[in-house]
């Protein structure tokens, strides 16, 4: 855990339910008296939101290194100007996607060492205290995402094999980082997924940290 504040990320494939669950979890934490900052990547600051528009919009690059560098630039601004100040103020920061998304999405096309190098450059080694991986079959997630009434971004239009690769890389990350990443079965209904998230949080922090929950 950070000396001050707590940094929690939500990760997963398209339509896994991150936005839905992060809002519900923020409300639950606030009901329990915590000061919560809710944010997302790419985005979270004016500069990073502008980069988001470039990456996910129609003019975005198809080149994985260009994408990775843009995600890294957005992340650095987001960390310096929003995440770190909120953590220093003792807040719980909930972030919809972070470094694991770069590992899972860009990791299929770029060398592992290069990915880790760009992540270190942009974060100085900051990793979340806890990550919820909302794990879902891509076929189900893409159907859910298609039902939302919002524009489809560049990554959602990639083929199914790409999304299976993303899922496999997320699962490998969870296996390699069991102390940080909690895998949540996102195929269940919203209430059951929310309950699993709160249970994983409580198990991780309330006992060990003396009553965060
Ligand atoms: N990206 C991002 C990278 O490639 N590298 C990086 O480093 C970073 C940071 C971001 C894109 O950028 C890529 C990954 C992404 O492709 P985004 O717009 O933020 O794009 O897209 P997502 O994060 O994928 O957001 P989505 O909205 O697609 O998915 P969510 O947030 O996981 O899903 P949510 O909550 O919006 O739910 C989708 C629909 O399903 C329903 C909801 O009501 C909603 O309609 N739903 C459920 N239905 C049934 N059962 C449940 N349990 C449900 N939970 C939600």
For the chain, what is the mean pLDDT? 93
| Contact present, 19 and 96 (Cβ < 8 Å) | yes
Structure token digits, residue 69: 């560098």
Q: Please give the pLDDT value at position 210.
A: 44
pLDDT digits (tens, 9 = 90+) for 126-184: 999 999 999 999 999 999 988 875 666 768 777 899 999 999 999 999 999 999 999 99
Judged by DSSP in three states, 94 sits in strand
Average pLDDT over residues 188-196: 98
pTM (two decimals): 0.95
Q: What is the pLDDT of residue 208?
A: 45
| pLDDT score of 1 | 44
Q: What is the DSSP letter of 5?
A: S
With a Cβ cut-off of 6 Å, ligand 1 is lined by 12, 14-20, 41-42, 56, 71, 96-97, 101-102, 105-106, 144-145, 147-148, 153, 155, 189-190, 193
Residue found under tokens 């949540």:
184
**Ligand 1 atom closest to Cα of residue 20:** 35
Q: Which two tokens stand for residue 148?
A: 């939302």
Q: What distance in angstroms lies between residue 208's CA and the mean position of ligand 1's atoms? A: 31
φ/ψ of residue 181, rounded to 5: -105, 125
């Amino acid at each position: 855990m950070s000396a001050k504040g707590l940094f929690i990320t939500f990760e997963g494939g398209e339509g896994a339910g991150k936005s839905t669950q992060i809002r519900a979890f923020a409300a639950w934490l606030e009901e329990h008296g915590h000061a919560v900052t809710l944010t997302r990547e790419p985005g979270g600051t004016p500069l990073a939101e502008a980069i988001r528009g470039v990456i996910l919009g129609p003019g975005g690059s198809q080149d994985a290194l260009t994408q990775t560098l843009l995600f890294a630039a957005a992340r650095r601004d987001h960390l310096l100007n929003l995440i770190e100040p909120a953590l220093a103020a003792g807040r719980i920061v909930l972030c919809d996607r972070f470094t694991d998304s770069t590992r899972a999405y860009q990791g299929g096309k770029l060398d592992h060492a290069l990915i880790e190098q760009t992540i270190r450059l942009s974060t100085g080694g900051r990793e979340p205290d806890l990550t919820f991986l909302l794990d879902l079959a891509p076929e189900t997630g893409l159907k859910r995402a298609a039902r939302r009434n919002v524009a489809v971004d560049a990554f959602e239009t990639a083929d199914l094999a790409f999304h299976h690769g993303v899922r496999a890389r997320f699962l490998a990350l969870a296996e390699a980082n069991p102390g940080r990443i909690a895998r949540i079965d996102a195929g269940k209904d919203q209430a059951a997924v929310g309950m699993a998230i709160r249970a994983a949080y409580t198990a991780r922090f309330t006992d060990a940290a003396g009553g965060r929950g």
